[in-house]
Amino acid sequence: MQAPIKIYDTTLRDGTQGEGVSFTVAGKLRVAEKLDQFGIDYIEGGWPGSNPRDMAFFEEAQKLKLKHAKIAAFGSTRRAKLKAEADPQLQLLLDANTPVVTIFGKTWLLHVTEILRTTAEENLKMIEDSVRFLTENGREVIYDAEHFFDGYCDNPEYALQTLEAAKRGGAINLTLCDTNGGKLVSEMNEIVSKVVAHFPDTPIGIHCHNDSGLGVAVSLAGIESGATLVQGTINGVGERNGNANLTTIIPNLVLKMKRVLNCGENLTKLRDLSLFVDEMANRPSDNNAPFVGPASFAHKGGVHADAAAKVKHSYEHIEPELVGNRTRVLVSDMSGRSSVMMKAKEIGVDLDARSPELKDFLAELKELEFKGYGYEAADASFKLLLNRFLKGKKDDFELIGYRVMVGHQTALKRTVSEATVQVKVGDEIHHTVAEATGPVGALDHALRKAISPVFPEIMAVELIDYKVRILESQHGADAIIRVQIESTDGNEIWGTVGASDNIIEATWEALVDSVEYKILLDSEK
């Protein structure tokens, strides 16, 4: 029977070294709770003493009521020619009061002699003394062998001696680190197999980086070769090109390699975990992330969509629901009848596949895409388009005209935008004016002010995201501009799109669709 695989998450330590990744103390605590709920075995919280944020985290983390995970503090071996009990950094690791301490030591003689500026023998003592000191003080110690694979390739005998030193000190796990992220799968298989054979009674772990784009692959290879603990980060955040991505490693281990993981029973929550960590890290989610990204099970080409509609697994390597994801159909100028039928069903519109209007709708869709409209992230605009074209739905209001002015008030040191909107609702004309800092806000306020007396439900709509993309930028200032807006009423989120060679006109189109969709939502209810 294969040994269960332990998952060691270092998002809150190694992950924070990635560009653009930042957690508040409160954010780190919430991520730790979420990781525990998911079933992660070890949560590396940071390096005590390296910064005030990590110190504050460890103080607050002692109040967490975790049900499964163990918090680990991270640090290094003692300094050269200094007793372990006298090393202030090791004392800070104890002060963090975590059940687990992970320390790293040097494996590569290049680092020992040129960076630590000490001897090979002293480095072995530093490793053993540090591990033993922490173990004797009641901590479970995981030893991270830094640059292990580079060190092993340079001098395999010495690399193994460093692991033996950690084992003598009492380490519960020896983790091999591909710190430079440069090893190939074949190298990983060969070296890990030899280490596992050398230490038959000691669990071996693997810690990989993604510098060669192989972080996940070499991590899985390490497990295949006998490692029973894998380190990584949620969404692959980390220094340089990132750490091995746990949101890819975990489903591969469970679904493809049939390995036992404590978090395996919670796999349907994987996408939620991924999105939550990105939110706490204040970074955009990766649309193309394997398993958890929105594009993972999205079908755009007509042939693909048709095949997936008939036999889902013909174009999907797993059932999306197993990882909390779903099948999506993207409509574009590549779409055929099957794609539109599937997309219509997905968004709740009943279509007759034999409808003669469907052919005309496809032609219209392709023409709109040619003009710059994109419906892949604008389901609301697509649904409105379907209703207008195939069901003859009339707009809820008619635009008579709008005007936007932008001015700078020097005395007040501010820029002000003013929008005037004139619309016809039924037989009545509504003429309103609104101000905001920018033209988008002014237009949004003026539009809602104009139609809210008849459709009060639109006052619940809030614009939460606004994206601008310039198409065919070689045309310079005359290029077509696509504006995509995300809106919410507090319960649902929807996307709308507009396109024009005028950014204000494109914005207006997306805003109109946003409120039209809210009116449609409420009418359907």
Task: Flag whether 215 is in a domain.
Answer: yes
pLDDT band per the 50, 70, 90 thresholds, residue 284: confident
pLDDT of residue 21: 87
**165 plus 222 within the same structural domain:** yes
Task: Flag whether 289 is in a domain.
Answer: no
pLDDT of residue 198: 97
Residue at which a domain ends, from 405, 425, 454: 454
For the ranges 205-209, 368-372, 454-458, the lowest mean pLDDT is seen at 368-372
Task: Flag whether 501 is in a domain.
Answer: yes
**pLDDT over threshold 70, residue 332:** no
**147 plus 275 within the same structural domain:** yes
pLDDT of residue 396: 84
**Across 413-421, average pLDDT:** 89
Task: Flag whether 293 is in a domain.
Answer: no
CA distance 485 to 167: 56
**pLDDT over threshold 80, residue 521:** yes
Which CATH number covers residue 433?
A: 3.30.160
CA distance 431 to 446: 9
Higher pLDDT, residue 284 or 270: 270
Global pTM value: 0.72
**pLDDT over threshold 60, residue 308:** no
Q: Are 74 and 96 in contact (CB under 8 A)?
A: no
Compute and round to an integer the Cα radius of gyration of the chain. Answer: 29
**353 plus 447 within the same structural domain:** no
For the ranges 328-332, 374-378, 413-417, the lowest mean pLDDT is seen at 328-332
pLDDT of residue 333: 47
Q: Which helix (H) or strand (E) holds 205?
A: strand 204-208
Q: Are 208 and 218 in contact (CB under 8 A)?
A: yes
Task: Flag whether 292 is in a domain.
Answer: no
For the ranges 44-58, 73-87, 173-187, 370-384, the lowest mean pLDDT is seen at 370-384
**pLDDT over threshold 70, residue 481:** yes
Q: Is 472 exposed, middle or buried (0-12, 13-18, 19+ CB in 10 A)?
A: exposed
Looking only at the bridges linking them, the beta strands covering 398-409 and 173-178 are unpaired
pLDDT band per the 50, 70, 90 thresholds, residue 341: low
For the ranges 268-272, 339-343, 372-376, 500-504, the lowest mean pLDDT is seen at 339-343
pLDDT band per the 50, 70, 90 thresholds, residue 474: low
**492 plus 443 within the same structural domain:** no
For the ranges 18-22, 224-228, 289-293, the lowest mean pLDDT is seen at 18-22
Higher pLDDT, residue 326 or 191: 191
Task: Flag whether 288 is in a domain.
Answer: no
**pLDDT over threshold 60, residue 130:** yes
**Across 116-130, average pLDDT:** 93
pLDDT of residue 250: 98
**486 plus 342 within the same structural domain:** no
**365 plus 379 within the same structural domain:** no
What sign results for the dihedral spanned by CA atoms 112, 117, 120, 124?
Answer: negative
**469 plus 328 within the same structural domain:** no
Residue at which a domain ends, from 281, 307, 331: 281
CA distance 179 to 442: 51
CA distance 232 to 113: 29
Q: Are 204 and 173 in contact (CB under 8 A)?
A: yes
Q: Phi then psi for 306, rounded to 5 degrees?
A: -65, -45
Q: For a pLDDT cut of 90, what percent of the chain falls above it?
A: 55
Q: Is 62 exposed, middle or buried (0-12, 13-18, 19+ CB in 10 A)?
A: exposed
Q: Are 310 and 71 in contact (CB under 8 A)?
A: no
For the ranges 141-155, 193-207, 241-255, 378-392, the lowest mean pLDDT is seen at 378-392
**pLDDT over threshold 70, residue 221:** yes
Residues 5-39 have pLDDT tens digits of 999 999 999 999 888 888 888 889 999 999 999 99
* Residue 405: partners with Cβ closer than 8 Å, 6 or more residues away: 417, 418, 419
Helices (H), 137-259: 148-154, 156-169, 185-198, 215-224, 246-251
**96 plus 244 within the same structural domain:** yes
Task: Flag whether 410 is in a domain.
Answer: yes
Both structure tokens of 484: 């995509």
- Total count of domains within the chain: 4
- State which of 109-123, 166-180, 401-415, 471-485 shows the largest mean pLDDT: 166-180
**pLDDT over threshold 90, residue 258:** yes
Which residue in the block uniquely carries the two structure tokens 């070769």? 225
**408 plus 381 within the same structural domain:** no
Higher pLDDT, residue 176 or 296: 176
Task: Flag whether 291 is in a domain.
Answer: no
**48 plus 190 within the same structural domain:** yes
SS (H, E, C) 80-115: CCCCHHHCHHHHHHHHCCCCEEEEEEECCHHHHHHC
**132 plus 192 within the same structural domain:** yes
CA distance 359 to 280: 45
Which CATH number covers residue 58?
A: 3.20.20.70
- State which of 125-139, 298-312, 410-424, 447-461 shows the largest mean pLDDT: 125-139
**340 plus 469 within the same structural domain:** no
Higher pLDDT, residue 476 or 277: 277
Domain that holds residue 319: 298-370
Residue at which a domain ends, from 218, 248, 281: 281
**Across 308-318, average pLDDT:** 62
Chain mean pLDDT for the chain = 87
Closest CA to 192 of 166, 163, 235, 233: 163
pLDDT of residue 273: 94
pLDDT band per the 50, 70, 90 thresholds, residue 335: low
One-letter amino acid at 49 equals: G
